[in-house]
Structure 1
Amino acid sequence: MKHNQFLILVAICICFVTKSFSQKGNYRIQNGLLLEGGITKLDILTDNFITKEGDGFYGGTAATVNIPLKWYDISFGMKIAENNISISGRPTQSSAINEFIDYKLFTVQLPLIIHTKIIEHYITVDAGPMFQYNSKLEINDKSYEDFYINNYSNITAADIYNISQINLNGLIGITLGIKNFKLRAQYVYGFTNIFNKLEKQNLETSGGDSRFKGNQSQIFLGAAIMF
């Protein structure tokens, strides 16, 4: 129910932004709609765990505001992604066998992006803040739940699922193409500590650092159609 309310709020926000930027001024401002999709690559930059980047996919939509005679355009939208990441573990506390445990992370992201016009209608450099609501870390294969996480003596794979679910990111990227079809490459860095909530779980941290810190590192590679 909470997820449904969140998506309704996003839809209202997009409609509001589209309407508010459509006011006529000194320039003939043109509103548009963008649909995009592609692949994601997710990692978490941390000293606590040994991680491996995983592939996923995403889809999104945005309200675009084209401002002629200005050096920038603006867009506000939503990206929904299913991401994957792997964390190194072992089957028993004393095992010398190491395996990567696959986790899944769902994200709903709301970016507000300034598109700097390098060549108008063809190339822009994109940057802006991004609000993120994400799921907890879900283990893909439940048989790995009792594996022990490397760098710690007693923390298991199931112990680290309860990560922070509200985060703030920054986005930078490039968009290129013709007027109505674009290719995009974007990098997202997490300003907030996505592992912050783990510090409140009273985990037994012998063998490793008792402070948990991780910053999201995500790449979007995709294509977009503009209307």
Structure 2
Amino acid sequence: MKHNQFIILVAICTCFVTKSFSQRGNQRIQNGIGLMGGITKFDIVTSNFEIEQGNGFLGGTAATVDIPFKWYNIGFGMQLSENHVNILGRPTSASTESEFIDYKLFAVQIPLLIHIKVFSHYFNVDVGPMFQYNSKLELVDDSQEGYYINNYNNLMAEDIVNISQFNINGVIGASLGIRNFKLKAQYIYGFTNIFNKLEKQNLETSGGDSRFKGNQSQIFLGAAVMF
């Protein structure tokens, strides 16, 4: 229920910016809203676990404030993403055979970006912070429940799902196209420790590091249509 309320609140804030025009001196400031979507590559940078990046998708709204005669525009929006990440584990504690455990992560992301006008509105460099509220890690294959996580003696697959759910990221990317259609590429890096909450759960960490640290890393390739 809390997740739904958060999404509705952000959607209302995002949709508040509609297509309109205003006068400021001799400059016309244009506000626009659009839709964006694409594919992702998701990873968590950590020394605690052996991780293989997974695939995902991202979609949402993108609002911009186009300021003529300035070297930048301002943008924000709401993005919904679903990503997979694979953590190496084993079927039993004593097993010598390992396999990747597939986890899924759902996130609501709010980027606040400056679009630097490298070549008018045709090519921009995008940079800024991103606020994220995400789900817990979810096991995709129920048959892997009870697996043991590699690098630890008795840490189990379901023990590490309760990760930190509010995170702050940084975004850098580029946009290429015409005013109403752009191709987008972004790199998103987590400034906060997404595994921080694991340290408060008194987990069985024998055989491995008792301090958990991980920073998410995400690549986005997609497109945006502005109205």
- Quickly name the TM-score band, shorter chain normalised: over 0.9
Letter in 1 for 2:147: F
* Shift, 1:196, TM fit: 0.4
Secondary structure of residue in 1 paired with 2:38:
strand
Letter in 1 for 2:40: T
RMSD between aligned alpha carbons?
A: 1.3
Letter in 1 for 2:171: L
Letter in 2 for 1:212: F
Secondary structure of residue in 1 paired with 2:24:
coil
Q: Which residue of 1 aligns with 2:92?
A: 92
Distance 1:15 1:57 in 2: 22
Question: Does 2:126 match 1:126?
Answer: yes
Distance 2:218 2:36 in 1: 16
After TM superposition, the structure 1 = structure 2 runs for residues 108-123 of structure 1, keeping only pairs within 5 Å, are 108-123=108-123
Secondary structure of residue in 2 paired with 1:28:
strand
Q: Which residue of 2 aligns with 1:60?
A: 60
Deviation track 1:64-86 (CA, whole Å, cap 9, x = no partner) reads 11000000001110110110000
- How many residues align structurally? 225
CA change 1:22–1:3 in 2 (3 A) is farther
Q: Which residue of 2 aligns with 1:198?
A: 198
Letter in 2 for 1:133: Y
The runs of 5 or more residues in structure 1 that have no matched partner are none
8 A Cα contact 2:22 2:30, kept in partner: no
Secondary structure of residue in 2 paired with 1:4:
helix
* Structure 1 ranges of 4+ moved more than 4 A: none
Q: Which residue of 2 aligns with 1:147?
A: 147
Letter in 2 for 1:24: Q
Distance 1:133 1:22 in 2: 32
Distance 2:33 2:129 in 1: 20
Deviation track 1:37-62 (CA, whole Å, cap 9, x = no partner) reads 11011100000000000001111102
Q: Which residue of 1 aligns with 2:177?
A: 177
After TM superposition, the structure 1 = structure 2 runs for residues 11-90 of structure 1, keeping only pairs within 5 Å, are 11-16=11-16, 18=17, 24-26=23-25, 27-90=27-90
Letter in 1 for 2:152: Y
Distance 1:54 1:132 in 2: 19
Q: Which residue of 2 aligns with 1:220?
A: 220
Distance 1:61 1:33 in 2: 7
The runs of 5 or more residues in structure 2 that have no matched partner are none
Letter in 2 for 1:157: A
* Shift, 1:157, TM fit: 0.5
Identity of aligned residues (%): 69
Deviation track 1:86-143 (CA, whole Å, cap 9, x = no partner) reads 0000111111101001000001000001000011121000001000000000010011
Distance 2:11 2:44 in 1: 29
* TM-score, structure 1 as length reference: 0.96
* Shift, 1:23, TM fit: 5.2
Secondary structure of residue in 2 paired with 1:14:
helix
Q: Which residue of 1 aligns with 2:209?
A: 209
CA change 1:136–1:34 in 2 (3 A) is same
* Shift, 1:33, TM fit: 1.0
Letter in 1 for 2:214: G
* TM-score, structure 2 as length reference: 0.96
